[in-house]
A = this chain, B = another copy of it.
């Protein structure tokens, strides 16, 4: 059996151990296993937010737009180059994930006239499916295994000359399964389609190689592993050589080539800024930028290494202590095939989650009908936290 001392030994050798101090943790006794839903506040975000409110807004007033106006592109560059494998000028902080998905999916369909079909899979995040169904002429939904996620071969079987776009989540929101970005992108391109990745559960937790895989389009949120704050601005990615031919449908002044000229005619900005629309919410954006900076400083390889160590421990403890009391694993067993969270399933999952929060000082995440998502965030969660969380799940499951 894996002991708490074993977990403590892993923590003692953890190169990211000191990063916990970068976060505001007013309740050190709480085991927070929902960093995959809303990350904790980085201290840097709280500092920047205060400065943005008091100094930039309060003192700078409207004059602060001189520099605020550059934040969405500059922060996108940092996120893109440090954490997503994109090149400068390919990522923009903008709107919310679903709005960005709408923009890029609409632009993709417009760029492939005569092809009305959008392909997605049955395990994709429901909001993504709603958005895609809203813009597609016709949907094809790949039936994916609920644990292993969509497989390239299954996607390939749906592709033909009527498909404009394949849109999948890179890491499944429920199972945590990683979809094969390189293989699916290649298959889509071979069929003349574009590919659009939702990176919400991948950004800041797994290395992503948008440039290397040749991915066309991507969106994602910054409030999970990037710790950008509740409902923080989302991001979008458009590969550089595609930008000029992509026309997103929500034209607004922040996407205009010369927004302060107030011309009658809409001229889309060259580059990634053409995918912007309205005035960006700067208070939320400076917090998101601080979260991204904090993750970039830790480095995605170190984050991934620790994340795999944490989820490996979780799976080990699952086998030892949770499987015997009726839990099933809802996540791929092979560490390389999963993202940052581990799902465990139990018929009484809802009640167990309620008891964990109310009585055991553990915050997990319930996803209906039977899934408990456990998302140990590498920047502030320790191996001992994971050990204790499983220990308390055992207690909560016994009523």
Contacts and interface: CB of A to CB of B under 8 A. Distances in A.
B131 A367 contact: no
Interface string A106-130: 0000000000000000100011011
Contacts of A285: 231
A230 B135 contact: no
Residue of A50, A99, A261 with most partner-chain B CB within 10 A: A99
A125 to B, nearest CB: 8
Contacts of A260: 368
Interface stretch (A57-65, A163-171, A331-339): A57-65
Interface string A189-231: 0000000000000000000000000000000010100000111
A158 interface: no
Interface in A80-116: 95-99, 102
Contact of A282 (B53, B231, B254): B231
A242 to B, nearest CB: 20
A228 to B, nearest CB: 10
Contact of A54 (B46, B63, B126, B264): B46
A251 B40 contact: no
B262 A24 contact: no
A266 B26 contact: no
B131 A252 contact: yes
A2 interface: no
A37 B221 CA distance: 29
A59 B40 CA distance: 9
B253 A130 contact: yes
A344 interface: no
A330 interface: no
A252 B101 CA distance: 10
A252 B135 contact: no
A263 B96 contact: no
A263 B368 CA distance: 9
B41 A53 contact: yes
Given A37-B62, A41-B58, A253 B95 contact: no
B26 A230 contact: no
Interface residues of A, number: 77
Given A61-B34, A62-B34, A262-B126, A252 B363 contact: no
Interface string A33-52: 01001101100011001100
Interface string A356-371: 0100000101011000
A358 to B, nearest CB: 11
B57 A229 contact: yes
A292 B284 CA distance: 18
For A131, A133, A261, which residue has the most chain B Cβ atoms within 10 angstroms? A131
A249 interface: yes
Interface stretch (A179-187, A272-280, A312-320, A384-392): A272-280
A137 interface: no
A68 interface: yes
Interface string A7-19: 0000000000000
Interface in A251-300: 251-254, 256, 260-264, 266, 277-285, 287
Interface of A: 24-27, 32, 34, 37-38, 40-41, 45-46, 49-50, 53-54, 56-59, 61-65, 68, 95-99, 102, 122, 126-127, 129-131, 133-135, 221, 223, 229-234, 249-254, 256, 260-264, 266, 277-285, 287, 357, 363, 365, 367-368
Q: 6 tightest A-B contacts by CB?
A: A96-B278, A98-B252, A127-B253, A98-B278, A130-B266, A281-B284
Given A102-B277, A231-B278, 6 more contacts: A61-B363, A62-B365, A99-B99, A260-B368, A262-B367, A282-B284
